[in-house]
Amino acid sequence: MHVNGTGRIPPWLGDAALAGGLVVTVLTLAPPADTGLTVTLAAVAAGAAMLRRRYPEQVLTVATAVVVLTLLTGTPAAGLFIALGALNYSTALYSRRRRPWFYAATVWVAIVTAGTIMSGAAWWTSDQWALFAFIFGGAGAGDSTRMRRAYIAEVTERARQAEQTREEEARRRVMDERLRIARELHDVVAHHIAVISVHAGAAGHVLRNDPEKVWPVLGHIRQAADTVLDEIKSVIGVLRDPGELPATEPTSGLDRLPGMLAGLEAMGFEVRHRQTGTPRPLPAVVDLAAYRIVQEALTNAHRYGDGSADLDLTYTDGEVTIEVVNRVARYRGRSGSGFGLLGMRERAAVAHGAVTAGPVSGGRFRVHAVLPAAENGLSWNDEPTELTPTTAEGR
């Protein structure tokens, strides 16, 4: 027997089998002398079976009308009574209107009324109750099958949605981790690569004019390179760890700001640092975001500025404000990728803060960040707030 990919018999094949069974029943129970009537009833039964899925209500109505007509005219049509049970099943199963018991009651009342009118017998006879059980049994079986199929479909859909949700969550976690690693590499590596680049340029100049002073410069280059290697090893170690990824990022914060400023000063970059308000411990997310924003802003100022920058840190009751302003050199070679500013905005968004960056009057560039100073349930798993757009590019 042919089956489809789900292991079920195709609907048309089941309908054809039902039609054949009803035709045989009608031919068997019909009067042997009335060939025309037999063929007509057999055609009605076969057509009803083939159309019961697409037009369940209409087919049931036509079949009921034919049975009532045969009863009123005294024409034997016992085979169609069997068809009515199957058609009530189909109506309960396939009808868009969920009224199986109404249809069954209508069919039963119509047939009982017609039979009582013609025979004059009482309507509560055993034959009438047998017909009641046959018609309502078909409707009940169809309604039960419909509810079971609906339940299976709902469970299947829920399982599909749950699997899709798990896959989307897994993809989201992978993307979040990729962004975190890329952000951390850029924040740390780009800063120290910039240090190496500046010192390498200075080394060439010192080597030509005063070779004895080149060794401290080379020492700074080596120190920056070692720091980059350590950071890269740390990230690679996390990626190679077969266990669960850590939920926290490296513990950098504004407590490391003096060391950063000292390193920049050693390179000849002047940072005029001003602090307003009383410093206080910040949430880990905010502390790291503040440090990385300052680091990226000063790195950009070093690369594209005129050799100095102003750094203002302001502590208030609920916020910490960062502002870095520097003059932009007329020409510093080609512009950057823009990932630095994007990284600053992402850092601020994770901390539920905001960053704006762009040119201001006097040929200067300004980075302004506002971060919350309170905990407020911040964690690395928080969804970022909407990123503040920036008009600056290439830094």
Q: Where are the domains of the chain?
A: 11-162, 253-395
CATH of 253-395, one of 3.40.640.10, 3.40.50.1000, 3.30.565.10, 3.30.70.1140: 3.30.565.10
pLDDT tens sequence across 313-372: 999 988 999 999 999 876 555 455 566 788 888 888 888 999 999 999 988 999 999 999
More confident residue, 134 or 20: 134
pLDDT tens sequence across 272-315: 999 999 888 888 889 988 998 998 899 889 888 888 999 999 99
The pLDDT, as a whole number, for residue 309 is 95
- pLDDT for 10 beyond 80: no
Q: How far apart are CA 46 and CA 60, in angstroms?
A: 13
The pLDDT, as a whole number, for residue 393 is 43
pLDDT tens sequence across 314-329: 999 889 999 999 998 7
- Residue 368's nearest CA partner among 390, 384, 394, 340 is 390
- pLDDT for 71 beyond 60: yes
Lowest mean pLDDT among 183-192, 198-207, 255-264: 183-192
Q: What is the pTM of this model?
A: 0.47
Q: Is residue 160 a contact partner of residue 113, using CB atoms and an 8 Å limit?
A: no
Strand order of the β-sheet with 308-315 is 270-276, 308-315, 319-327, 364-372, 354-360
The pLDDT, as a whole number, for residue 244 is 52
pLDDT band for position 377 (cuts 50, 70, 90)? very low
pLDDT tens sequence across 244-263: 545 444 457 899 899 889 88
pLDDT band for position 390 (cuts 50, 70, 90)? very low
The average pLDDT across 41-46 equals 68
- pLDDT for 379 beyond 70: no
- Residue 196's nearest CA partner among 225, 159, 167 is 225
The pLDDT, as a whole number, for residue 371 is 94
- pLDDT for 373 beyond 90: no
CB neighbour list of residue 126: distance below 8 Å, 6 or more residues apart: none
Cα 190-196-198 angle, rounded to 5 deg: 100
- pLDDT for 387 beyond 50: no
More confident residue, 11 or 292: 292
